[in-house]
Structure 1
Amino acid sequence: MTHSSPLSSRPATIPRGAFLTAAPDVAHAALRESEDHHRANFVRAPVPMLVLDMEATVTDVSDRLLSLLGYSRHEVVGRAVSEFQTPSSARQTTTGWEDFLARGEARDLERRFRRRDGAELDVILSATVERTPGSGEARVIAALTDVTDRKRAEVALRASEEGLRHAQKMEAIGQLTGSIAHDFNNVLQAVTSNLELILGRVGNDGAEVARLADNALDAAKRATAITSQLLTFARGQQLDLKPHDPVGIVNGLRGLLARAAGDRITLHIDVPEQSVGTCLADLNQLECALLNLVINARDAIGGQAGTITVSLRSEEVVAVAGNRLPRGSYIRLAVRDDGPGMSEEVCRRAFEPFFTTKGPGKGTGLGLAQIHSFAHQCGGTASIASAPWKGTEVSVLLPRAHEATGHMAVPVTPRAEAEAEAEPGMGETVLIVEDDAMVRSTLAETLAELGYQTIEADDADAALALLEGGAMADLILTDISMPGSMDGLEFARVAHGRFPQIPVILTTGHIEVLGDMALPRDVGILSKPYTRGDISAAARHALVRRKQHLAGPFG
């Protein structure tokens, strides 16, 4: 194939008079030498370049472009340029070709080419139509700049920015959720305490009142469960992180999971016969997460016959770019269903709080958000794999117990030591420090019925003034979140320093404020809303420890 010079729109310039003194073959040789020189420069150009005819067919190509695309020269020359582009870019080239020829040039066009090995390249393309005067011939000279790495960096940056915005949004929602749940817990505390007082006072003739109070108490307990979900999402719920055997947990829940799945669902438990090791988790939250995942899978199948598979596997996480999990050993708990699956958009939003595809009244949209937050609090993560009509698998990845670090147990009043029935007091005096008047009054009435005497203060300053003024107290029961110069946590430290013989119980509906703080000795925690039995057990436990401490080894 004969190639004309792609770098000049005019023939090579021959010195004036040359044709008068030189033979014709000498003149032609000089012209060919000039063309060969220009083409050699074109082929060796450091910028990827190509030459097209008026039909967008490649007539010449630089070595740099051949190297970039991975083709040989004979595989490119003579073929339409659109054959080396992705379908969408090829359509852009084809549909805009006539307009380009009419304009004569194009600058900074974004196109995507496909290499010989199938990899795609993003390029910026600029092209010019060069016409030879008087001959009617024309060609297109195009230069390309490979911007693939830059495009990928831009995509990664946008993804990072989107992830940051999402994290900030989730944090803001979490803070709002925790604040709402904290206030709601105060309301629930007053409701449950008053209902328990009602139930304790109605006699045999009050059966109807007792029934209604029981119903109201059940409703309050359901509200408490929702609050627990809110606080877990807000990372404000107290977790008792300990090593647990996930194989034993799953096997122990087989019956409950089968009942939750229902008669039309086949439940398949796929766990190793031998232990996969222990994972670090809160037992109650882990069991609730597994149960909720099975219920979600059942609902996804939609009342039809289907299969739910619960599986356990060991998994190693390596340090790779973009992986937010620490490198180490993990245990994956997965629940898979063969339901209709989720779209990409639903998968992307599934862990968002309050997002649900269920109808009104059929879901709060907190279940998966709670599971996601629980997994992260344990040092792991949660993920979803799904596609329309291909089922859904939700996985919870938990760290092995020996891999986990940095987790500190928050001191908790041990309810396991309490008797099932509320233990009466023996006339001890409890100082109640609570800014919510309704909660304070019902707590005082409950403690009075349990056999305690009470004195009350609406903030830490007032409580400290009572103690320094000579008020005698055997136990301090203080809320954490209070107005004034000191919150309950600071008051507990001050009171413990000045009156170390008085044990302190902190009450809160927002456990997150404690974080990993080390609390003084004999300071317990009671989460709102608590029951009559909870407060009785906590008080007796604190007072028994106080008595043992004061008596010493010979008491």
Structure 2
Amino acid sequence: MDRTVRCSFVANLNRHNMDHSQLTPGSDTRSLISAFDWGATVLGARNDWPAARCCAVDLALRSHAPIALLLGSTGILVYNDAYAALIGTRHPRALGMAVADAFPEYASFCRSVIERVGWGEAVLLSDSALGTAELAAAQRCGIDISYTPIMADGNRVDGVFAVIMATTARVRAREGIASGLRQSEKMAAIGQLTGGIAHDFNNLLAGIIGNLDMLTTRLAQRDLTSAESYLAGARSAASRAAGLTQRLLAFSGRQSLMPTVIDIPGFLLDIEELLSHTVGPAIELRTRCDPAVGTAVCDHHQLENALLNLAINARDAMPDGGRLTIEACNRTLDIPGAGAAHTAGAYVVVSVMDTGCGMTEDVAARAFDPFFTTRKGGQGSGLGLSMIYGFLKQSGGHVELQSRPGMGTIVRLFIPRETATGAIDGADSATRAPQRGAEDVILVVDDEPDLRALLAEMLEGLGFSVVQAPDAAAALDVLSASGRIDLLISDIGLRGAMDGRCLVDAAHALRPGLPVLFITGLSAGSDAARVVTGPRVDLLRKPFSFSAFEDRVERLLERVE
């Protein structure tokens, strides 16, 4: 059916199911069937029809439900008023036609149904959307079609008795239930995620605030003997908080990665000693690498973290000792995996296998959920496997987990194989030497006054002159003046009419080639955080260390000799 006819079919079907009590069965099509020249068809004159066929026609004409009969080997159409109302302008032309000719777009399907029912098989098509995804989306309509053989004398199938019923209400009710379930599951996942984040951050904040409060108290007492330990405690907690945000970003696939070409055999050789110390002497560590394995492309640090996490999990699953095996091999996937989870391509597969207690099916199904852990309270954040999942997905790979209680666990890391000739080029090796002087002036733009003041103090401690601006408008006033500015440092998410990117565009219009350092707390996957970096534009993500900040500033102010 063309789209207009299909939409009319759906509308008519729904209207028929609401208003069927007002119909007079057989009032129109009965007359047409009586007047039709059936002798000109393969069915022959109506007076010669077998009793079973006549009974089927009479039953259809008396019914309020839409019914079509597909008679004979070619499926000659005979139908009632309700069915005629559904097919719109194809009535009455379709009466007496072979169904494949009346509906050529469904010819193959109709022939298949006639053949199946011809063997005496009843066929039920449930919740069909008339074969079109477009219609299903536009009309939200479903139908049931029941195809039953019409048995003539001698146990011979004379045709097909097709009854059509609208199931739109049932489909919508089921979709409503499914939607509600998805929303409930989504809220439960959000609750678990936010609850886990709040728990971990509250612990970390308690460490930061507690150490700073104690430091404040000791300073008021002019007691500096323990100041260093309080500062170290606060910094340690803050660093762990930064690590927690990175693991969350890893799970969401929005962390900043630095992919490089990694020689997998050499990598496994280098990390073997570290893994051995991690799992301890009670666990036998074996590493095997297929000779064909070469290089893969991913973030070296994140891959190391992934194997350490898996080694720790394996160690905890084998409290009485066991064996941990790490293998590497090449694998090429020609077709996507189930659910399109696996992308076709060439991979290096690093498998981590233990002989531990294994997981139940329920635990394995939730293993990659953030903050899900089977360890007792305080012994794990539940972010290790979710971090691995996010890191690999963001790297163009994927992860598989296979586990059974008492049979151990296998985790396979699919890492994109390096196929280019040669390694990734390193940085420009041209000789550079810092030649800055105390006269260098840096413009710092941030709408957070405490952070802006801190950045200014850091820069002044390095010997720079600093000009501060709370927003883009104030920064442009500075840049429009004739004073010297050697570097612009700006937050991306500035409040006001212009964000950091718009500010830099305007700044380059005023001062072409001005070096820029963006700083941001936005995730790497955020559209708002995307900037084009280059030799004169760099990006530093919060939180950052003083040394990382200093390094970026120095690099942007370097002059080529």
Q: TM-score, normalised by structure 2?
A: 0.58
CA contact (8 A) 2:479 2:510 kept: no
**Quick check: 1:413–1:525 contact (8 Å CA) kept in 2?**
no
What is the identity, as a one-letter code, of the residue corresponding to 1:304? D
Matched, 1:463 2:479: no
Check conservation: 1:413, 1:526, Cα contact below 8 A. Answer: no
Unaligned stretches of 5+ in structure 1?
1-44, 47-62, 70-106, 111-123, 127-142, 146-153, 549-554
Residue 394 of structure 1 aligns to a residue in which SS? Answer: strand
Secondary structure at the residue paired with 1:253?
helix
Given the superposition, is the C-alpha separation of residues 290 and 66 from structure 1 closer, same or farther in structure 2, using an over 3 Å criterion?
A: farther
For 2:526, the equivalent position in structure 1 comes to: 513
**Residues 1:481 and 2:509 aligned together:** no
CA contact (8 A) 2:368 2:385 kept: yes
Residue identity opposite 1:265 in structure 2: I
> What is the distance in 2 between the residues matched to 1:500 and 1:412?
24
Match of 1:221 among 212, 234, 239: 239
Which aligned segments of 4 or more residues in structure 1 are displaced greater than 4 angstroms? 63-69, 411-414, 514-517
SS of structure 2 residue aligned to 1:455: strand
Distance in 1, Cα, partners of 2:247 & 2:549: 22
Deviation at 1:258, TM superposition (A): 0.5
**Cα separation, 2, equivalents of 1:339 and 1:65:** 55
Q: Which residue of 2 aligns with 1:541?
A: 555
1:492-539 Cα shifts (integer Å, max 9, x gaps): 233233212421111123333367753365001112222221121111
Instruction: Note the C-alpha offset of 1:373.
Output: 0.6
The answer as to 2:539 corresponding to 1:522 is no
Q: How does 1:69-108 map to 2 (within 5 A)?
A: none
Equivalents in 2 of 1:436, 1:68: separation in Å? 78
1:254 aligns with 2:275: no
| Alignment partner, residue 383 of structure 1 | 400
CA contact (8 A) 1:424 1:536 kept: no
SS at match of 2:226: helix
Question: Residue type matched to 1:215 in 2?
Answer: G
The residue type paired with residue 227 of structure 1 is T
2:284 to 266, 269, 277: 266
Equivalent pair of 2:254/2:394 in contact (CA under 8 Å)? no
Match of 1:291 in 2: 308
- Once the two structures are overlaid, the 10-residue window that deviates more, 254-263 or 320-329, is 320-329
Of 293, 302, 309 in structure 2, the residue corresponding to residue 276 of structure 1 is: 293
- Name the CA distance, whole Å, in 2 between partners of 1:221 and 1:465: 37
Q: Is the 8 A contact 2:330 2:346 kept in 1?
A: yes
1:240 counterpart residue number: 258
Letter in 2 for 1:439: L
Match for 1:430: what amino acid?
Answer: I
Check conservation: 2:460, 2:466, Cα contact below 8 A.
Answer: yes
Name the amino acid aligned to 1:260: T
Distance 1:298 1:125 in 2: 60
1:453 aligns to 2:465 (yes or no): yes
Q: Computing the radius of gyration over CA atoms, which structure comes out larger, 1 or 2?
A: 1
Cα distance in 1 for residues equivalent to 2:493 and 2:236? 27
Letter in 1 for 2:247: Q
Secondary structure of 1:291's match? helix
Q: Structure 2 stretches of 5 or more lacking a match?
A: 1-72, 75-114, 127-145, 149-159, 163-170
The change in CA–CA distance for 1:309 and 1:431 in structure 2 (over 3 A counts) is: same
Partner Cα separation in structure 2 for residue 68 and residue 265 of structure 1: 65
Q: Which residue of 1 aligns with 2:95?
A: none
Distance 1:216 1:68 in 2: 80
Contact 1:331 1:398 in 2 (8 A): yes
Change (3 A) 1:231 1:425: farther
CA 1:173 to 1:489, structure 2 compared with 1: closer, same or farther past 3 Å?
farther
- C-alpha separation in 1, matches of 2:452 and 2:494: 12
Distance in 2, matches of 1:259 and 1:391, equals 21
Structure 1 CA distance, aligned partners of 2:117 and 2:317? Answer: 52
Change (3 A) 1:233 1:476: same
**For 1:308, what is the secondary structure of its paired residue?**
strand
Indicate how the Cα distance of structure 1 residues 445 and 500 shifts in structure 2: closer, same or farther if over 3 A, else same: same
| Alpha-carbon shift at residue 358 of structure 1 (Å) | 1.5
Question: Does the Cα contact within 8 Å between 1:279 and 1:398 map onto a contact in 2?
Answer: yes
State the SS of the aligned residue for 1:448.
Answer: helix
User: Structure 1 residues 516 and 348 mapped into 2: Cα distance closer, same or farther (>3 Å)?
Assistant: same
* Structure 1 residues 324 and 384: alpha-carbon distance in aligned structure 2, compared to 1, 3 A threshold: closer
Change in CA separation of 1:493 and 1:282 when aligned onto 2, cut-off 3 Å: farther
* 8 Å CA contact retained: 1:328, 1:403: no
Change (3 A) 1:386 1:484: same
Match of 2:361 in 1: 344
The total of aligned residue pairs comes to 385
Provide the secondary structure at the position in 2 that maps to 1:512.
Answer: coil
More deviation, 320-329/372-381:
320-329
**For the residues of structure 2 that align with 1:244 and 1:451, how far apart are their CA atoms?**
39
**Could you tell me how far apart the structure 1 residues matched to 2:281 and 2:119 are?**
63
Residues 207 and 428 (structure 1 numbering): CA distance in 2 closer, same or farther, change over 3 Å?
Answer: farther
Q: Secondary structure at the match of 2:543?
A: coil
User: Hey, what does 1:315 align to over in structure 2?
Assistant: 331
* Contact residue 117 and residue 147 of structure 2 kept, 8 A: no
TM-score (norm 1): 0.59
Partner residue in 2 for 1:306 = 322
Is the CA contact 1:418–1:537 (under 8 Å) kept in the aligned structure 2?
Answer: no
Query: Residue 84 of structure 2 corresponds to which residue in structure 1?
Result: none
AA aligned to 2:298 is A
Task: Specify the alignment match of 1:9 in structure 2.
Answer: none
Shift of residue 64, structure 1, vs aligned partner: 7.7
> Contact (CA 8 Å) 2:360, 2:404: kept in 1 or not?
yes
Shift of 1:287: 0.8
With over 3 angstroms needed to count, the CA separation of the structure-2 counterparts of 1:438 and 1:412, relative to structure 1, is: farther
Task: Measure, in 1, the Cα distance between the counterparts of 2:470 and 2:428.
Answer: 23
Kindly indicate whether the alpha-carbon contact (under 8 Å) linking 2:436 and 2:557 is maintained by their aligned counterparts in 1: no
Distance in 2 between the 1:252 and 1:512 partners?
A: 32
CA–CA distance in structure 2, aligned partners of residues 369 and 173 of structure 1: 15
Q: Distance in 1 between matches of 2:119 and 2:276?
A: 61
Matched, 1:330 2:347: yes
Per the alignment, do residues 304 and 327 of structure 1 end up closer, same or farther by CA in structure 2, a change over 3 Å counting? Answer: same
3-state DSSP of counterpart to 2:456 = helix
| Paired AA for residue 259 in structure 1 | H
2:325·2:352 contact (CA, 8 Å) conserved in 1? yes
Contact 1:384-1:395 at 8 Å conserved across structures: yes
Alpha-carbon distance, 1:241 to partner: 1.4
Q: Who is 1:551 aligned against?
A: none
In the alignment, does 2:376 pair up with 1:359?
yes
By how many angstroms is 1:228 displaced? 1.3
Measure the CA separation in 2 of the matches of 1:294 and 1:412. Answer: 33
Q: 1:444 is matched with which residue?
A: 456
| Contact 2:292–2:329 (8 Å) recurs in 1 | no
